[in-house]
Structure 1
Amino acid sequence: MKLLKRGWLLWLLRLIVVLGSLWMLTLLSHTQTSWKPTYSLRYSWLEYTELDGDPEKMYDCSGILRGEREALEQAKLLTITKTFKNSTQIPDEYYINATKDCRKFKISRKYVSFPLSQEEKDFPLAYSMVVHHKVQNFERLLRAIYAPQNIYCVHVDKKSDISVFSAIMAITSCFPNVFMVSKSVSVVYAAWPRVQADLNCMADLYNASTTWKYFINLCGQDFPLKTNLEIVRMLRSLRGGNSLESEQMPEGKKWRVTNAHQIVDGQIQAVGKVKDPPPFNLPIMSGNAYIVVNRGYVRSVLEDNRIQTLIEWAKDTYSPDEFLWATIQRIPGVPGSTWPNSKYDMTDINAIARLVKWLWHEGSEGSLEAVYPECHGNHVRAICVYGAGDLQWLLEQHHLFANKFDTDTDPIAVYCLEKYLRQKALAELH
């Protein structure tokens, strides 16, 4: 009799729980019109949360993105705390071991495994990623831009440590649309091999797939400022055009293309010889290494005889990456190009390819001479390595990517940015 009574009570309790749950769901459906059950139930596992165990979770990312002084001061203090900095570092060995089980690695790192919209699926992108160190930076960049419909070529500098090469190769092996470049080179700063690394990836990407629409080249310390959907929509708005810095060559830089250079003991130096004028009387333009160009532009780079001749001429110049792409963009007949007249000049601020803060263009708020506000991180070769205090300004800009980020210097800046982008990408789901 007691057992029967106890069983009846348990059944009654279960009924109350079920009815209560149904009542709560009904209440939610009537009172929270913005609640999206499809997203909450199906895709919440892709969101970065405090349960992930990231050391940066103690941080107030919302306050940082709003530019709140207290949150920014707390961030600054944490980034100089040795214990915190040590806790945020992921050694190369982690990636080598974690990728032995690719499925578990991709789930634990929350990689997007399906196109988030039909619009994105119909507009695949091709990425070249040139890397030489900082595997953690690379992996977090890959995770931030990864989508299964896109394609990614990774070039690791031949001089890189074996642990860097092994870790990146292990990561790429987990994805069918991410691959190592077929021919790597030993990259030398400001010399031709830096261009050759991208050229090799361009060729591999062009031959690997016929469907991608635009090519974007990155380095390991870049990070996106837009979601994949936002990038796709901005590229569509170009209507087949390209977006990259391309303007008249300043007098102070003309020595780079008028004097011959060569690599000696891993460094580039002048050889005391004046170069011949550029082929076909092409106007040599000034630009930078990072570009957003359509598939036709890449085809021209690989097949156009004028460009092949220009490439050969450029191989003994100084910092060819800072004029080659810009010059090709002004050659008539190249898909998406613009006329070489100065009316069509485009600065790095107007182009959407990359946002870089140069030390000599920074200034205090309200300064009419300054191009952008002062750096909140530190500088490497006169380039701002962004801190958390730069995020609010960065996200107000129209650029697709920004450089430089460094998890060794300010991991919170990277964490808050990637968390913001993931939340935004999931909110865009229909």
Structure 2
Amino acid sequence: MRSSTRVPIAVASLAVASLAVVACSSGGTSSDTDASGGADDVELRMTIWSANPDHVAAFQELGDEFAEQNDRVASVTIESFNLADLDTLVTTQISAGDAPDVSWLPVESSAEYIKSGALVDLRETIDKTEGFDFDDFIPSLLERWEVDDAVYGIPFSTGPLIMYYNKDLYAQAGIKDPGQLIADGDWTWDTFRETSKQLTDKLGVPGYALNDFDFKNWTRLLPFLNAYDASPWNEDATECTLDSDEAVDALSVFHGMTFDDGSMPVPGQQVDFWGGGAAATSAFLGSAANLSEVDFDWGIAPTPAGPAGDVVATGQASIVAFAAGNHTEEATELVAFLGSKDAMSKYSGFFPPIRESVLTPEVLTQNSDVLTPEAVEPIIEGIKENGKVFPVTESNAAVTDALNSSLDEAFYQPGVDVKPALSSVCEAVEPLLP
């Protein structure tokens, strides 16, 4: 079995539980100052999981701007960390009584953190923030962060998994590439599977490879699942549905391409699309930066359609305020500031937003050396019309580990019967669902 890079379940659970305990006992509701403290003395800390200097600078400049406008805030400090260290970082800092005030949080952790009481409800602050225009957010892409009227995060990045393809390899094989299939109105998983096998048979290279997958990251299967109206669990995440007829049909395409057709890498096979080692890959829109280094003609497209139509699998991250922070009032104000139209327009060249007014081809390509507004326009329309944010559970860490490991043992193998294999996966996952 291949090892998982996920942090241990116990550590992840402890982190979330610690947030809840500290929030109930010592979280600040407003600026905490002693009798000698002045009005301008709150020092806020915000954690982000990017060390990219441009990302850090963009948020630091906005933090400085917020501090200048807020009489109670002396400074906002942006701190970088590795996403894999999120849970252990939170645990350590809470134990030291020094939880960050504001942070990025991946959507996969949303339900877990919300259920535990680890996040501050932003609704009151949003409602009183002049010009915030909450209706500008695309409702279907905000659902993971809402519970009734409460809002626990402002999505700042909603990145679609899209198709990148090597036009040169398709031309060399004499096969229609994804852009040409779209023009023909024939962009489906069935057609893509067929053309991928043809290309592999002719050129001896994989027709398709999942980026950042390595048989350890189940979310990269979502373009298959979504196209067939399938999901690993039902809508309220109480029952595993990975062995439903729809899921079996979807993952039979993946399994067939991998183990029958030979058009996708098998476990242990390393393939680099960006180095010309595969004809196509699916990756987040942010991976387009890799195109500046390639030496082939390329194109981008939405992932193929299926019986459920054109569905765009989208990852997401939000800006949240931790209930265990010492300055929750100022923290929620910072979150609202960073979610405003003006602020979002300044960093949306790096991170696709879900504000209708900011999610435009011009904004998304403003910091790109390779993408053009014309190239990303179909992607943006797909997000707006058919974007589907990754599914979540209230026990994300445990479910993720169980799902990845059981897929590895039962499904990522040659010659398996897909339906029983996926039923075996559900047997491992279902006890962990609420």
Q: Same fold (TM over 0.5)?
A: no
- With CA pairs under 8 Å and 6+ residues apart, which has the higher RCO, 1 or 2? 2
| TM-score (ref. length: structure 1) | 0.24
Q: Which has the larger radius of gyration?
A: 1
| TM-score (ref. length: structure 2) | 0.24
